[in-house]
Structure 1
Amino acid sequence: MAAQCGRPSPGCTAPGTGYGHTVPLSDGGKAFCIIYSIIGIPFTLLFLTAVVQRVTIHVTRRPVLYVHLRWGFSKQLVALVHAVLLGVVTVSCFFLIPAAVFSVLEDDWNFLESFYFCFISLSTIGLGDYVPGEGYNQRFRELYKLGITCYLLLGLVAMLVVLETFCELHELKKFRKMFYVKKDRDEDQVHIMEHDQLSFSSITDQAAGGKEDQKPDEPFVGPEPPVPADGPPQR
């Protein structure tokens, strides 16, 4: 039976990569966990991508466009200020405030340990060395676990929205272009010209082949002369 504790101690072994202390022990449970992960991880990524795209439209793109059109500020400047403010709000609402709450609710956690738990969880590292709600005198354990689950889901979406907002900045786009592989336009034009020459050559070969089909010893058969209305000429 795996030990359960709220923080690492000499009598409690912290788990490795992962989150929490509940692990499958039987072969069937491990096989189900593998199959579930193969199916669940892609669907989770698709769900988060769809949610982040829709949230980014209402939280980032529309406010930036509104301020740009309403007051005439530079769009790049508005986007930069908006990204910084959004980052500050996200850090405050999903790191600093929850860390203060966890330091109060968890008896053996200080503020640094609570902040560490928030960062490790929302950055999807999830070492599992700190697990909230595992104290022996924890009240309303089920409700507390449900609240932590909602916090982690909302915090993950907020982190992805902030990253998407910063990735859309003009300065970062210029920085990312430095690592892109540039295509050689002259080489592309050479390929296009070679393709056109091959197509023209194939058409010419087809036309020449059609002329060779007509054998030189065969007489040219033209249209028959018209027959008079009163019949063929009398001899």
Structure 2
Amino acid sequence: MEGLKQERITSGRTWIAPATCIYGLDYLTNGYECDPYVTNFLNKYNVHIMPVHNPDGYYYSWHSDPLWRKNRNRNPNDTCYGVDLGWNYDDGHWGDGKGTGDSCSKNYEGPTGFSELETQAVRDYINELQSTRNLTAFFTIHSYLQLWLYAYGWSGESVPEEPEVSRVAQIGVNATESVHNTQYRLTVSTITEMKEAIKAAAGEATTLSTSCITHQRQPVMEELE
């Protein structure tokens, strides 16, 4: 079974995301055949990890602007650069007011949904896993709020498998909290929740790519425990 664990940089400035990804990658590779839990997990699942989703924005944030958020695509007929990739996904609800049409804004959603090569690549890869393999779970990791969110973000409606998704998500919250006793809040990623997160984090933590997550409506397997 395929488990896509997508720990990544979407906003260029969220440097902790790829560091967390690389730490997890090191843990899994070095733990195989040494740690019984890791060995059992990897014997059951293929894990696909995207450490960096926005390489150009990530590089630019290191070398030019530490708070840079978007990619570095030159917008046509414009002096401004970049699209906020988190708002560029489209499950039929692109441009519904979460992002902005101002190309100079840090929250620019792009001229159309999936206009960017980065979001197209992620979309195509997920669709391939979904159509050719048994994609079991999909995660994105962002900084910096202590929230565990799940779809549907655009409407606040529950996914068909909401009781199971919520149950397994709570297992993840409990496991995460047990490491350093950092408290996380589990909730559906409603528009209200996302606006509160944006207000609290100045737009940092909530480019959640729920538009991709919502396409993966497979029941979460008991084996994820």
TM bucket (normalised to shorter chain) is under 0.3
Q: Which has the larger share of helix? A: 1
Per chain length, whose mean CA-contact separation is higher, i.e. which structure has more relative contact order (CA < 8 Å, sep 6+)? 1
Instruction: Report the TM-score when normalising by structure 1.
Output: 0.25
Larger Rg: 1
